[in-house]
Structure formats: structure tokens, C-alpha cells
């Protein structure tokens, strides 16, 4: 199953499509896809509603003159001009949209329906109704714009954590410039407590960073000279220097922001169906309206053209598919916004639909359900050896490794004894480390290392649950240290919530089988498999899919990319650490919390529920009023409710998801 991400070209296309229509405060895009594309507006809320307010005041005055305070002068052309003035602020932008849509080849847009319905109302003298229809339609459009703007601002507030300015070093002097102006190769000086604005390479010998803004991991991450540092990281200690390797707009943080803001380019099946339906439905409605107007001439003895034209116009207003065309994309966008506010990034509305139907969640262990931070659990040294001296030697040797095990031992033993003289240090891939200390051979690694050097030991490694570090000194087995990864605080509750949703949980890991099964038992995971290579994980997922069951895979690294691509929904934990995982995954969990897995499923279910509520509401109300309108029992005011009223109700229902607690 292929996974598609928004390409740079796609992003540019969407940006171009989101050009703001300054006349009415709305963003309307009915291009090839015939979709609403309401982006954030530069106008204030008052400025967006101002045309509608002017129109409403003029309309209310006109209705007052018609029914409550009749005046001799408010007749004829004065009355026509007055209601025309009320129509212009809200009607002119829509007529302009209709004209532009026709030029693009999209004749039967909702703008066209609204245009001919309201102009027709003026033609038969129903001026207040014509103004009212366009007024309420415009108000609905503004509400939609505000709803989408809010959803986008939630996404932007979550992700756009880059500083606006940076301090660069130039000719041994520092100067502050806009982050966008920084070029590749510039050297940024980062003070303690400052946040990095661009991706780069660390020039200082070492620096400690808080990466919580990117990964949710509160533990400081120490970087050494030459290592990559990312926009959003906070320098914790001394002043550090970073060479810029990526321009501001191409940083990983910027790419993720663009991916999520452009998420609506990947449509849910329901959304695609409604768009296709609207393309067929709208021309049919126009033809039916024409038939309603003219066909009765041949069958009704007292045919009055004006009355049947009015019925046809009512029919057009009722049948406008705005409630569906507006509220369904907005429902999905609201779901994406709600997820983003909770640190879950969906790359498309189609994945909201898919995740709602997930039957199996398959997960990695290290870094997904566990912290990825190892701690010493047990130290078992034979009495023939001096425990403290041996651990000091092990600590000194492990300091030459970047493996998490080395960090765990260092934290347990403490400061490295610089007086120890280690010679001929050698790392044996897949086994461990070897060195000469005091003219004697020191081996530290797994039991494969012991076997390789024919070291005899009297224990069964399979009986030990945790990861084991075996130690040999002077050709003799000296003992072992057990290391364990800490389970994340919310892992157990995440599995419990999945079970409450009737979702099965399976753990796949490359770690030792005994460790994997022990963690799975503690968490209550249904099935667990260890000692797996990436291709083994792929085969396990294929096995589940062969039972015609849907699968979401949760992983945290580049090694998980193949199985993420195979799954129905690929979820990346801490995906900012791996470009391949970001590009392959459909959902990125920003803060690494397992509890976000059931939350993502729940948001998908709620979004789908709200979308179907809107579909049923629109079809039922419109169906009833269409029948009444065709029979002459519904006026333009009922038509306004059936169209704009239902659209507003659907919009309010759609934005509900942004306020829900998950």
C-alpha cells in the first residue's frame, strides 16, 4: 500500500489556491476540485462581518418600512434601490465568485445557484427575500472561515516554535538578524536558555539540549561536535556555536508544519464522494428548477409564471449543497486541528477515517512503549573479583561507546577513573568491547562475546529477563550487569484504553525475547515477539493483514519505515528524529506518549461520527423542504433555513470537535 506525502509542488499549489478574496473576507476556491478552501484571513472578525452588518441594517430598515412604519416615499425605484444597496455588500462578492467559476469551466457552483436564485428574487419583486438569502449565506461563509482559521492557528501554535531572530558570528563580532535571513554556512551563537531557530551542525565540543519541544523527552540530550541539532532545541548549559545546514523554511519543523497545514490535500472517501456527488447533483437541481418553472404551463389551467418562477427559485436555494460542501471538509479539518492541539499530527483527512476502523495496533518496544533510557537493574560480580575495581574498569571501557548501555553504566558507577590505563581498545560489532587493563584482557558485552573468546560461565542467559552485560577479566568470567529500559508512565493506560475499544495490541521488537515478553506481560499486551529483524516485523504485519484485519503500526525510527509503509495507518513516535519515518508515517505523535495512540483512534471515530451527523441532517431537512417547495408550500424564508440554517448548524456541529476533551 503506497503512502503519499504532500510534495513541495503540492504545497506550492495549495498555497496558490489559498489566495484571499479581499472583497468579502472569505477564502473561496472552486478550482478543479470544486472544494472550499478557507484559509486564515488577515482581517479582524469585525472586518469580516462588516459587509453582513451593513446589509443586515439596511435589510431591517427596509422590512420596517414595508410592514411596520410604511412611508409614501418608500415605494417604486426608491424601494428597489434601497434593497439593491442592502444586497451589494454581500451579493457582489458571491456574483464575482460565480463569474470566476464559470470562466474556469465550473458553471454549477453554489455561487451560481445563489446568484441566480437571488437575482431571480429581485426580478419578481421579492427584494427582502433576495437580500436575506445572500446575507445568511455570507454569514455562514464567514463562520466557516473563522472555524478553519481557528483550526489552523491550533496547528501553528503547536508547531511553529522557532524564534524569529538569531545571533550570528561574523568577523569575530556578533549581530542579530531575522531567522529567515540566515544562510547555509552562517554560524549561530546560542546562549544558555536560547532556542535554536534553524537546523545545523554543532561546532562546539559538546552541548546539552532540551528537546521536549520536539519529542516530549524531558531528559537532556547531549550532542558532540559534528552532530546534527534541530530547530526547536533549547541550549541548556554553556554558549554553543552551530553552523547552519538548512535554511529556515526547509527545517524539519517547517516541513512538519507544512505537511499538516496541507493535510486536506489527501481527502477522506466520504469527502471525495460528496464532492463528486455535488458535481452531478447541482446540474440536476438546475434542470429540475427549470422544469418546475415551465413544465406546469402544459398541465395547470391557472398557470402564473411569477408563482412558478418563485417556486423554482425557492427550490434552487433549498437544494444548494453548501451544508455538505462546507461542513464535511470542515469536520475533517476540525478533527486534524483537534488532533494537532493534542500533539497528534495527521497528514490527511483520509487517515482520520482509516484510524477510526483500526482493529490491531502493532508497536515497537524501545522508544515507543519504553523511554529508550536504560538503567542498571542488578550487578552480580563473582566474589573472586573486587567489585568496585572491576566496575571502574568496565565504566572506563564503556565510555568509548555511544550505546545507551554505556550511559546506564556510567550513571550507575559515576565519574570515570582517569588513572586507569586502557590499551588496545577494540569494538567488536554485535558483541561488545575488548581492551587490555593492567596487562590483562577485559571483555564487556553479550554472551556471544564470551563464547567468541571461549570464556566459560555457569549461568543460562535465557533465564535472565533483562538485557545482560557479561564481564570477563584475565580470561575468567567475572559476572554480569543487567540493564533495563524504563516503561513509559502512560503505556499501561494506553493498552487498557485500546482494549476498551476492542483493539488488539501486539509488540514487535528486535530486543531479547525474554525482555519483550516481560514488558508485554507488565502492560497486558496480547501478543509479543522479540529478536526480530526489520523484515521479520514486516512478515508479522503481513500475517495479521492476511486475516483481513486492519493494522496500525507504531514505531520511532528509520528501521521501522518498511513496516510503517505496509500498515493501513503508520504512526511515528518522536518522528522528528528520522526523516524516513516522517515521510513514510501517516500520523506523527509529537510528544512520544503512548496514550496518544488510543486518543488518535478516538479523534478519528468522533470526526467520522460528526461528519455523518451532518450528512444525515442536510439530506433529511433538504429533502423535506424540497418537497414542500416544489408543491408551493415553502417560501424563500424556509429555503433560507434549509440551506443556510442547515449549513450553520452543520458548521457549529463540525467545530464542536475542536472543543472536545479526548
Pairing between strand 504-508 and 527-529? parallel
Distance CA 338, CA 346 (A): 10
User: Rounded to the nearest 5°, which phi and psi values hold at 321?
Assistant: -80, 25
Range list of β-strands (E), 323-369? 344-346, 360-363
Q: Which residues contact 501 (CB under 8 A, 6 or more apart)?
A: 598, 601, 602
User: Rounded to the nearest 5°, which phi and psi values hold at 654?
Assistant: -65, -40
Distance CA 179, CA 168 (A): 10
Distance CA 241, CA 170 (A): 12
Pick the closest to residue 106 from 325, 330, 327 (CA basis): 325
Distance CA 469, CA 449 (A): 10
Contacts by 385-393, CB closer than 8 A, 24 or more apart = 385/473, 385/478, 385/479, 390/471, 390/473, 390/478, 390/479, 392/417, 392/420, 393/420, 393/422, 393/437, 393/442, 393/473
Any idea how long the chain is?
A: 662
Maximum CA pair distance of the chain?
118
Query: Do 24 and 51 form a contact (C-beta atoms < 8 A)?
Result: yes
Distance CA 396, CA 375 (A): 17
Q: Which residues contact 622 (CB under 8 A, 6 or more apart)?
A: 318, 319, 323, 642, 643, 646
Q: Please give the grid coordinates belonging to residue 506.
A: 501486539
Which of these is catalytic: 24, 34, 186, 364? Answer: 364
Q: Please give the grid coordinates belonging to residue 254.
A: 517547517
Query: Do 655 and 330 form a contact (C-beta atoms < 8 A)?
Result: yes
- The helices-and-strands tally (H runs, E runs) of the chain is 22, 22
Pick the closest to residue 356 from 605, 571, 78 (CA basis): 605
Catalytic, 364? Answer yes
Q: Which conformational region is residue 548 in: left (phi greater than 0), alpha (psi within -120 to 50 degrees), or beta?
A: left
Pick the closest to residue 290 from 275, 301, 279, 305 (CA basis): 305
Q: Please give the grid coordinates belonging to residue 290.
A: 427549470
Distance CA 146, CA 135 (A): 17
CA distances from 624 to 282, 287, 326, 631, 651 (A): 18, 19, 20, 11, 20
Query: Do 90 and 52 form a contact (C-beta atoms < 8 A)?
Result: yes
User: Rounded to the nearest 5°, which phi and psi values hold at 106?
Assistant: -100, 85
Catalytic residue ranges: 364
Amino acid at each position: 500500500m503506497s503512502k503519499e506525502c504532500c510534495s513541495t509542488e503540492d504545497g506550492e499549489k495549495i498555497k496558490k489556491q489559498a489566495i484571499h478574496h479581499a472583497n468579502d473576507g472569505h477564502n473561496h476556491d472552486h478550482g478543479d476540485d470544486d472544494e472550499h478552501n478557507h484559509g486564515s484571513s488577515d482581517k479582524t472578525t469585525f472586518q469580516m462581518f462588516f459587509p453582513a452588518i451593513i446589509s443586515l441594517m439596511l435589510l431591517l430598515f427596509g422590512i420596517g418600512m414595508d410592514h411596520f412604519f410604511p412611508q409614501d416615499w418608500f415605494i417604486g425605484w426608491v424601494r428597489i434601490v434601497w434593497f439593491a444597496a442592502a444586497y451589494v455588500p454581500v451579493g457582489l462578492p458571491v456574483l464575482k465568485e460565480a463569474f470566476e467559476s464559470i470562466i474556469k469551466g465550473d458553471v454549477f457552483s453554489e455561487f451560481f445557484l445563489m446568484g441566480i436564485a437571488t437575482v431571480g428574487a429581485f426580478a419578481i419583486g421579492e427584494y427582502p427575500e433576495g437580500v436575506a438569502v445572500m446575507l445568511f449565506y455570507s454569514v455562514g461563509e464567514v463562520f466557516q472561515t473563522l472555524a478553519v482559521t481557528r483550526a489552523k492557528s491550533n496547528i501553528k501554535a503547536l508547531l511553529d516554535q522557532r524564534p524569529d531572530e538569531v545571533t550570528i558570528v561574523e568577523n569575530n563580532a556578533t549581530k542579530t538578524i531575522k531567522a529567515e535571513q540566515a544562510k547555509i554556512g552562517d554560524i549561530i551563537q546560542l546562549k544558555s536558555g536560547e532556542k535554536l531557530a534553524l537546523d545545523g551542525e554543532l561546532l562546539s565540543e559538546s552541548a546539552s539540549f532540551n528537546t521536549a519541544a520536539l519529542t516530549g523527552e524531558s531528559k537532556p540530550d547531549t550532542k558532540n561536535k559534528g552532530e546534527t541539532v534541530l530547530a526547536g532545541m533549547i541550549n541548556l548549559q554553556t554558549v554553543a556555536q552551530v553552523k547552519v545546514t538548512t535554511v529556515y523554511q526547509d527545517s524539519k519543523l517547517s516541513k512538519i508544519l507544512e505537511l499538516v497545514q496541507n493535510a486536506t490535500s489527501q481527502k477522506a472517501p466520504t469527502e471525495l464522494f460528496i464532492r463528486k456527488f455535488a458535481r452531478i447533483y447541482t446540474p440536476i437541481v438546475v434542470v429540475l428548477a427549470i422544469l418546475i418553472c415551465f413544465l406546469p404551463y402544459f398541465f395547470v389551467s391557472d398557470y402564473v409564471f411569477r408563482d412558478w418562477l418563485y417556486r423554482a427559485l425557492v427550490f434552487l436555494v433549498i437544494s444548494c449543497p453548501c451544508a455538505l460542501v462546507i461542513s464535511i471538509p470542515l469536520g475533517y479539518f476540525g478533527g486534524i486541528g483537534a488532533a494537532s492541539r493534542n500533539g497528534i499530527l495527521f497528514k490527511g483527512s483520509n487517515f482520520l477515517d482509516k484510524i477510526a476502523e483500526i482493529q490491531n495496533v502493532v508497536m515497537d518496544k524501545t522508544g515507543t512503549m519504553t523511554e529508550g533510557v536504560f538503567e542498571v537493574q542488578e550487578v552480580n560480580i563473582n566474589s573472586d573479583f573486587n567489585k568496585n575495581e572491576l566496575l571502574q574498569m568496565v565504566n572506563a571501557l564503556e565510555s568509548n561507546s555511544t550505546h545507551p548501555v554505556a550511559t546506564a553504566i556510567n550513571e550507575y558507577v559515576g565519574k570515570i577513573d582517569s588513572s586507569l590505563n586502557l590499551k588496545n581498545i577494540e569494538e567488536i560489532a554485535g558483541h561488545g568491547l575488548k581492551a587490555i587493563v593492567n596487562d590483562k584482557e577485559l571483555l564487556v558485552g553479550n554472551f556471544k562475546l564470551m563464547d567468541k573468546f571461549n570464556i566459560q560461565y555457569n549461568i543460562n542467559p535465557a533465564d535472565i529477563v533483562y538485557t545482560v552485560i557479561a564481564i570477563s577479566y584475565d580470561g575468567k568470567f567475572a559476572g554480569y550487569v543487567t540493564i533495563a529500559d524504563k516503561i513509559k508512565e502512560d503505556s499501561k493506560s494506553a493498552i487498557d484504553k485500546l482494549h476498551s475499544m476492542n483493539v488488539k495490541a501486539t509488540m514487535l521488537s528486535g530486543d531479547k525475547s525474554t525482555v519483550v515478553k516481560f514488558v508485554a506481560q507488565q502492560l497486558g499486551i496480547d501478543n509479543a515477539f522479540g529478536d526480530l529483524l526489520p523484515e521479520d516485523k514486516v512478515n508479522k504485519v503481513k500475517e495479521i493483514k492476511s486475516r483481513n484485519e486492519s493494522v496500525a503500526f507504531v514505531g520511532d525510527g528509520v528501521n521501522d519505515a518498511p513496516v510503517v509503509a505496509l500498515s493501513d495507518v503508520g504512526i511515528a513516535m518522536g518522528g522528528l528524529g528520522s526523516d524516513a519515518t516522517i515521510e513514510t508515517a501517516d500520523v506523527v505523535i509529537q510528544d512520544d506518549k503512548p496514550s496518544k495512540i488510543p486518543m488518535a483512534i478516538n479523534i478519528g471515530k468522533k470526526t467520522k461520527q460528526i461528519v455523518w451527523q451532518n450528512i444525515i441532517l442536510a439530506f433529511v431537512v433538504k429533502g423535506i423542504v424540497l418537497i414542500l417547495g416544489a408543491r408551493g408550500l415553502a417560501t424563500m424564508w424556509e429555503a433560507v433555513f434549509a440551506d443556510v440554517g442547515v449549513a450553520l448548524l452543520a458548521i457549529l456541529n463540525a467545530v464542536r470537535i475542536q472543543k472536545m476533551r479526548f
